[in-house]
Structure 1
């Protein structure tokens, strides 16, 4: 009965598609994470030049995922993708200690953009399956997440290769977007 009502409701009123920008430095695992979410498996990827788009449904929410390349030459254009964005997923390579400062600068630059002033930010601390990686707590401190006072944010440890931690992060995101009204 619930499924029939849900289908009828969707056909009468439509389902709003939520735009999610997936950002992070190059080699953070953004594309692998995108395919893990949309296909349920890791696939071989090449560095993203520009962006990829994928559709994804989770907990009755329909997402349009924008996986945007993280190379230095592309990061300046990230703000062009933020128009009408409902949420940002920022992917951080938990093994990349050398570029923590750069990741912090890029994350805070994006978070300060007026276009996403009310958008929740989910930070996936990727590659938690690699020995010696930074913990989500270490990353939270290194990226100064507590200074992101204007946004609702959450950090979630994950592995894009295995899918571990993705559901927990997406649960938080779905709840945040559902509460947004």
Structure 2
């Protein structure tokens, strides 16, 4: 019985799961982070460096690192990879011109040794904007079906309203429970 209790505590108790939130600039990373934390829209400015917050969902603790997405900051992303359990890639669903850059950054990141065990959640943000790419379209463009060594999930969302965000967090919790 004690072993079962210990196992349950390690899954749901005080264990923190490191999450990095990445994506190109203006994708909505910081808005999503603070929507998780406050359930409100927080007006932000471009992130220089990182923001970090602890989010607790049904006794599951996530330590979320929101990393700046400007081109000059992307080279430093790898300094945050160690011990990361989840990568949350935020995609601006209206930014068709830079989706190839997003794809390039995703595959560069997934090749890094420190992320070999990380699961990937892709938030297709800005679904509320007319003519935005759908989650399925983003999945196709990013060729996610070719990713065989990482669990992954695409979730349409709107950072401003919070729509779709709880489903993404639940997917991450399910990944933890499956291990």
Same fold (TM over 0.5): yes
How many Å apart are 1:59 and its aligned residue?
Answer: 2.2
Task: Output the TM-score relative to the length of structure 1.
Answer: 0.91
Q: Does 2:67 correspond to 1:68? A: yes
How many Å apart are 1:178 and its aligned residue?
Answer: 2.1
Take 2:87 and 2:58, find their aligned partners in 1: how far apart are those partners? 18
Q: String of CA shifts for 1:52-86, please: whole Å, max 9, x gaps.
A: 00011012111110000000001011111001111
Query: For residue 108 of structure 1, what is the aligned residue in structure 2?
Result: 107
Q: String of CA shifts for 1:4-61, please: whole Å, max 9, x gaps.
A: xx9xx86xx9611111000000000000000000111111000000000001101211
Take 1:67 and 1:98, find their aligned partners in 2: how far apart are those partners? 23
Take 1:168 and 1:25, find their aligned partners in 2: how far apart are those partners? 22
- What stretches of structure 1 move > 2 A for 4+ residues in a row? none
SS in 2 for 1:86: strand
Query: For residue 23 of structure 1, what is the aligned residue in structure 2?
Result: 22
Confirm or deny: 8 A CA contact 1:108 1:148 kept in the other structure: no
CA RMSD of aligned residues (A): 1.5
Query: For residue 88 of structure 2, what is the aligned residue in structure 1?
Result: 89
Query: For residue 34 of structure 2, what is the aligned residue in structure 1?
Result: 35
Confirm or deny: 8 A CA contact 2:13 2:59 kept in the other structure: no
SS in 2 for 1:83: coil
Query: For residue 118 of structure 2, what is the aligned residue in structure 1?
Result: 119
SS in 1 for 2:27: coil
Q: Which runs of 5+ in 1 are unaligned?
A: 1-5
Q: Which runs of 5+ in 2 are unaligned?
A: none
Confirm or deny: 8 A CA contact 2:23 2:29 kept in the other structure: yes
Query: For residue 3 of structure 1, what is the aligned residue in structure 2?
Result: none
SS in 2 for 1:18: strand
Task: Output the TM-score relative to the length of structure 2.
Answer: 0.92
